[in-house]
Structures are given as structure tokens and as C-alpha cells.
């Protein structure tokens, strides 16, 4: 190998050496409750009720104290419109940056997290395939704790608040931000 090709290869190897051995992949599922706040819609004609949620997360921890996470959450709740409850789902996709309190390899890892997300609200009583859905973009933030059960499995507890503009399904304009508060418990397989 010529020196002009060897030097870039050695530099690339040296730059990636710090992350190559600490990189851990986590693939997991979680479930929990969803508590709504600031959930009034349509000038007070309707509001979103609390519900439950299920989701999946993939986390990559390339550094001792930091990581990246992407995921999907399905929330099932009801929309109360003038005293009548109608089934409502919320589909969310998100990216988060994680900052850990303890280094990679610790049995217990408290963390703080923040990132961006989208929330898709199908029209109440309909599925996402029926059309008429509204997608809103927002932010989320929170924290949690991960505890290793063994080399391959961990459990986690999360609290997050997802904030996005409210869906506007009604003639009266809806303003403000909807806040969805997640409390969940999950498990993950680590590699």
C-alpha cells in the first residue's frame, strides 16, 4: 500500500478506535401510560383523554456518556367531543440524543434525553389508512434509568413529555401545544 493511501487509513482507524469498542446497540420494546395535558381542542368543544402506549426503540451508544435513539410509539386514547368519547390513535416517530450519568458498562445508567418528533393524528374514529390524518412536528424531553439484567438484556423506565401543536379537526381554530406525558417500562436486547 502506498504512503498516500496508508496515512488516511491509519488516521481513520485512529479516529474510530475510541468508539469502536464501546459501541452498543439496544433494540427494545416498551409500554405504559399516556397522560394528556393542555389537551383542549376546538375552542373547548373537545379534549383528548389519557390512554396507553406501546412502542419500539433502537439505541446506539457510540460514546461512554452519550447515545442516539430512534423509535416509534403508538398511543391509544379517546377524544371526548361534547360528552361523547370517540377512539383516537396517535402515531409518533422520534429521534433523541441521550446523555448518561454513568459511563458505558455500568450496571445502572440514569439518563437525560431530548429530541424531535412527529405525531400523526388520524381523524377521530378512523384509522391512519382512511385519510384525513394530520401530522404535527414537535419536541420531546425527559429522562429515565436503564438497568442491566445480564450481558444481553436490560430493563428501562422512561418519563418523557412530547410537545407538538394540537390537531385541528374542528371548524373552530385550535391553538396552543398539546403535551403528552409518557411513563413507560420496557426491556431491550443489547449487542
* DSSP per-residue letters across 117-128: EEEEEPPTTS-G
HSE-up of residue 148 (Cα within 13 Å, Cβ side): 14
Q: What is the pLDDT of residues 90-106, one digit of tens each?
A: 999 999 999 999 999 89
Burial tier of 4 (Cβ tally within 10 Å: 0-12, 13-18, 19+):
exposed
52, three cell numbers? 396507553
CA distances from 7 to 18, 19, 137 (A): 18, 20, 44
pLDDT of residue 107: 94
Q: What pLDDT was estimated at residue 74? A: 96
Identify the pLDDT of residue 18. 42
Q: Going by C-beta distance under 8 Å and a sequence separation of 6 or more, which residues neighbour residue 120? A: 90, 91, 92, 128, 133, 134, 135
Residues in the chain with pLDDT values less than 50: 10-11, 13-22
Are 58 and 25 contacting, i.e. CB atoms less than 8 angstroms apart? yes
Q: What does the alpha-carbon distance between residue 38 and residue 34 come to, in Å, rounded to a whole number?
A: 13
The pLDDT value recorded for residue 15 is 45
Q: What is the predicted pLDDT for the residue at 129? A: 74
pLDDT at residue 9 in the model: 57
The label of the residue with cell 381554530 reads: 173
CA 102 to chain CA mean position, Å: 21
Supply the pLDDT for residue 68.
Answer: 97
pLDDT of amino acid 1: 54
CA distance 56 to 2: 47
Q: Would you state the pLDDT for residue 182?
A: 96
Residues 6 and 9: their CA atoms lie apart, in Å, by 5
Amino acid at each position: 500500500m502506498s504512503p498516500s493511501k496508508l496515512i488516511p487509513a491509519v488516521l481513520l482507524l485512529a479516529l474510530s478506535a475510541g468508539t469502536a469498542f464501546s459501541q452498543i446497540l439496544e433494540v427494545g420494546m416498551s409500554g405504559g401510560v399516556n397522560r394528556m395535558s393542555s389537551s383542549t381542542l376546538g375552542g373547548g368543544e373537545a379534549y383528548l383523554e389519557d390512554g396507553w402506549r406501546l412502542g419500539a426503540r433502537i439505541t446506539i451508544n457510540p460514546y461512554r456518556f452519550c447515545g442516539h435513539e430512534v423509535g416509534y410509539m403508538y398511543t391509544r386514547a379517546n377524544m371526548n367531543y361534547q360528552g361523547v368519547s370517540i377512539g383516537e390513535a396517535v402515531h409518533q416517530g422520534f429521534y433523541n440524543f441521550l446523555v448518561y450519568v454513568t459511563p458505558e458498562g455500568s450496571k445502572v445508567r440514569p439518563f437525560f434525553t431530548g429530541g424531535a418528533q412527529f405525531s400523526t393524528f388520524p381523524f377521530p374514529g378512523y384509522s391512519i389508512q382512511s385519510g384525513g390524518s394530520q401530522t404535527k412536528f414537535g419536541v420531546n424531553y425527559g429522562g429515565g434509568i436503564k438497568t442491566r439484567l445480564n450481558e444481553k438484556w436490560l430493563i428501562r423506565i422512561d418519563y418523557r413529555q412530547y410537545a407538538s401543536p394540537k390537531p385541528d379537526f374542528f371548524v373552530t381554530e385550535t391553538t396552543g401545544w398539546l403535551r403528552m406525558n409518557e411513563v413507560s417500562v420496557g426491556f431491550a436486547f443489547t449487542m
